[in-house]
Amino acid sequence: MILCANPSAQFKTYQTEIEEAVLSVMRGACYVLGNEVAKLEQEFSGYIGVKEAIGVANGTDALELSLRALNVGVGDEVITVSHTAVATVAAIEATGATPVLLDVESQYYTLNPMQLEEMLSPKTKAVLLVHLYGQAADIDVITAFCHRNKLSLVEDGSQAHGAKYKGKRLGSIGDIGCFSCYPTKNLGAMGDAGLVTTNSSELAEKIRMLREYGWKNRISKFSGRNSRLDELQAAILRVKLKYLDQDNAKRMRLAEYYTEHLLNLPIQLPKLRKRAEHVFHQYVIQLENRDNLLERLKDNGIQAGIHYPIPVHLQPAYKDRVTLATDMSITETLSQRIISLPIYPELSMSDAKTITDTIQIEFE
């Protein structure tokens, strides 16, 4: 079986270092928000190229706490997309704000900036920009829109650890960057974990307080909650962070192989944005009659994914509860056409060949 994602294989790659790091924590005397978290925050902020990084319990919390630090709450609106993980929209709702969902660009799968003016209102407080599948959204246009309208910009880099735009790491461009470190991510823990990045010391202090009951010197200055990162996950992430660039390079080589061997088929392949570095959390293709190819892959022991099969605005929990752009046609069409092919650093080139050979046979 060729899995769509395989975090256990990455554990085996770095098993000795991970086990040593975990045992060191277990033999110590601190298990939550200790030295490992502090070192991870320092190392990750240096890697992204920002002044501050804050460890939190998961990526959804990273988004929610970041929005709350920007004073987003009841009565406010936050613009984002419907073609994303539900967590993006759930985090907005958790603040009490209303999600305003836009369509995406057909080639890059990220927020369509042409719809921003249409959905701007006096209630708009922030744009939550998702760098989907490992590639930057149209940052220049969106940043200019936010500056012009005095809106906060939060980058959701949960699928784009290490990716760049014009030489800058994603997560260093907006007011705040947010990252999930779920096990399948490019930088994945062995459980839930999240990271927040910012150049604002004031925002960083507020997020640190929000993640622990709003405490300052163990006195709650405002309402917060428990979103602490534990030492075990921080220690594991510190090991993996050292190898993130080389693991991303392996993803890129696999993506190049896929593109080379699928180029002449009736399939829409990923398009690379100019001056952006795509780290291929997912390698997503589009085609008609998707189910036929999915069945053939399955019959040949190849597990493919669909990210995402149902747009957030069409899911029962959110239908009729979010504000929508007038045209959501690209998002709704994509959900019927996309397939995520297996891609991760431990995927062998021989397995990649098996995958492309199987796809080629489907179109013979």
pLDDT at 12: 98
Same domain, 235 and 254: no
Same domain, 315 and 189: no
Kindly report, residue by residue over 337-359, the tens digit of the pLDDT: 999 999 999 999 999 999 999 99
Same domain, 229 and 155: yes
Same domain, 97 and 192: yes
Same domain, 233 and 272: no
**Alpha carbon of residue 166 to chain centroid:** 19
Q: Is 360 helix (H, G, I), strand (E, B) or coil?
A: helix
Same domain, 210 and 250: no
Residues of the chain with pLDDT > 70, as a percent, come to: 100
3-state helix, strand, coil in the chain (%, to 5): 40, 20, 40
Burial class (CB in 10 A: 0-12, 13-18, 19+), 11: middle
Assess contact for 211 and 65: CB atoms under 8 A: yes
Same domain, 250 and 233: no
Q: What is the CATH number of the domain that holds 131?
A: 3.40.640.10
Assess contact for 62 and 56: CB atoms under 8 A: yes
- The pTM assigned to this predicted structure is 0.97
Assess contact for 103 and 327: CB atoms under 8 A: yes
Same domain, 358 and 230: no
Same domain, 192 and 324: no
Assess contact for 177 and 171: CB atoms under 8 A: yes
State the residue range of the domain holding 135.
Answer: 7-102+110-241
Read off the tokens for 299: 């019959």
Same domain, 13 and 122: yes
Could you tell me which residues come within 8 angstroms of residue 117 by beta carbon, excluding any fewer than 6 positions away?
145
Cα separation of 171 and 49, whole Å? 9
Give the pLDDT band (50/70/90) at residue 319. Answer: confident
Average pLDDT value for residue range 79-98: 98
Kindly report, residue by residue over 291-301, the tens digit of the pLDDT: 999 999 999 99
Last residue of a domain, one of 209, 241, 273: 241
Same domain, 184 and 280: no
Cα separation of 94 and 224, whole Å? 12
**Which of 196, 190, 232 has the alpha carbon at shortest distance from 27?**
232
Average pLDDT value for residue range 56-70: 98
Q: How many domains does the chain have?
A: 2
pLDDT at 250: 98
Average pLDDT value for residue range 264-272: 97
Long-range contacts of 268-273 (CB under 8 A, 24+ apart): 268/337, 270/133, 270/135, 271/107, 271/108, 272/135, 273/108, 273/135, 273/136, 273/138, 273/165
Phi first, then psi: what are they for 175, rounded to 5°? -65, -40
Report CA-CA distances (Å) from 207 to 197, 262, 290, 354: 10, 45, 43, 46
Kindly report, residue by residue over 212-242, the tens digit of the pLDDT: 999 999 999 999 999 999 999 999 999 999 9
Same domain, 141 and 283: no
Kindly report, residue by residue over 168-202, the tens digit of the pLDDT: 999 999 999 999 999 999 999 999 999 999 999 99
